[in-house]
């Protein structure tokens, strides 16, 4: 799965270098055996972002760092390209975002209630306002009409369009990444187990763009089997959002 992710990152046309960062010797050896540059990092990191920062700190020839998480084997190279282009555009603005991430629509009502599927709320300019494992935004009036969120989604299926799934991809301005990882974890971050909340709480702007195609993060054995089936069916590139 790690090699699959690395292959898709390599296919992104505006990514100049792909490095597999891991604290696991076996993963290191597998990645290297498939021809990917790999770095063995400290095993004391609290998050993948800390691990990325350790490697990024040694890179002297880059201003942008892309974090493609190893549990996103279906991430599209086009999504990576678009996210990199977005951060380049933000860097031209006086108060542009320091981080770019991605989102996808939520198609199934049950996914709204899945705590493993992180929801994102955006403002009118597509900057992130909130990330949560809970049901956000909360359709109060619809719940009043129907008694519960589940009933509201059943009776008014168009409400599903309110919800967005966060995709595990981050593009950082390098200097902000290194600064971010030196900050203490915040209470809200630890409560939700979402490190991007630390950035928001420190006033870091996060731009969120729609992913160019669907992806499935692998958080459970069920997710793994689902992704493996999709890969075996060679249906990966047909996951269009159109």
Length of the chain: 242
pLDDT at 12: 95
Task: Specify the 3-state DSSP secondary structure of 213.
Answer: strand
Whether the CB-CB separation of 214 and 74 falls below 8 Å is answered with yes
Single pTM value for the model: 0.88
d(CA 79, CA 42): 29
pLDDT at 217: 67
Cα of 200 vs its chain's centroid, Å: 15
**pLDDT in tens for each of the 242 residues of the chain?**
888 889 999 999 999 999 999 999 999 999 999 999 999 998 888 788 999 999 999 998 899 999 998 878 888 999 999 999 999 999 999 999 999 999 999 999 999 999 989 999 999 999 999 999 999 999 999 999 999 999 999 999 999 999 999 988 999 999 999 999 999 989 999 999 999 999 999 999 999 999 998 777 676 777 777 777 777 775 555 443 33
Show the 3-state SS of 79-131.
HHHHHHHHHHHHCCCCCCCCEEEEEEECCCHHHHCCCCCCEEEECCCCEEEEE
Sign of CA dihedral 229, 234, 236, 238: negative
pLDDT at 48: 84
pLDDT at 46: 79
d(CA 226, CA 229): 5
Relative to beta strand 164-173, strand 99-105 is: antiparallel
The ranges assigned to domains in the chain are: 2-213
pLDDT at 4: 85
d(CA 115, CA 200): 20
Identify the CATH class of 2-213: alpha beta
């Amino acid at each position: 799965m790690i090699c699959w992710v690395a292959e898709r990152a390599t296919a992104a046309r505006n990514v100049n270098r792909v490095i597999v960062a891991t604290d696991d010797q076996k993963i290191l050896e597998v990645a290297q055996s498939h021809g990917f540059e790999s770095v063995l990092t400290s095993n004391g990191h609290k998050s993948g972002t800390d691990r990325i920062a350790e490697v990024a700190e040694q890179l002297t020839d880059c201003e942008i760092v892309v974090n493609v998480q190893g549990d996103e084997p279906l991430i599209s190279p086009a999504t990576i390209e678009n996210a990199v282009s977005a951060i380049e555009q933000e860097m031209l603005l006086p108060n542009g975002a320091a981080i770019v991430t991605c989102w996808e629509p939520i198609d199934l009502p049950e996914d709204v209630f899945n705590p493993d599927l992180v929801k994102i709320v955006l403002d009118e300019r597509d900057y992130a306002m909130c990330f949560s494992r809970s049901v956000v935004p909360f359709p109060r009036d619809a719940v009043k009409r129907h008694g519960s969120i589940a009933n509201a989604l059943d009776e008014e299926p168009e409400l599903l369009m309110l919800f967005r799934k966060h995709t595990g991809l981050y593009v950082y301005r390098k200097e902000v990444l290194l600064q971010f990882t030196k900050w203490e974890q915040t209470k809200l971050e630890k409560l939700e187990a979402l490190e991007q909340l630390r950035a928001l709480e420190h006033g870091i702007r996060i731009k969120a763009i729609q992913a160019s195609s669907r992806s499935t993060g692998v958080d459970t054995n069920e997710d793994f089997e689902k992704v493996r089936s999709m890969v075996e069916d060679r249906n990966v590139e047909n996951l269009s959002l159109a």
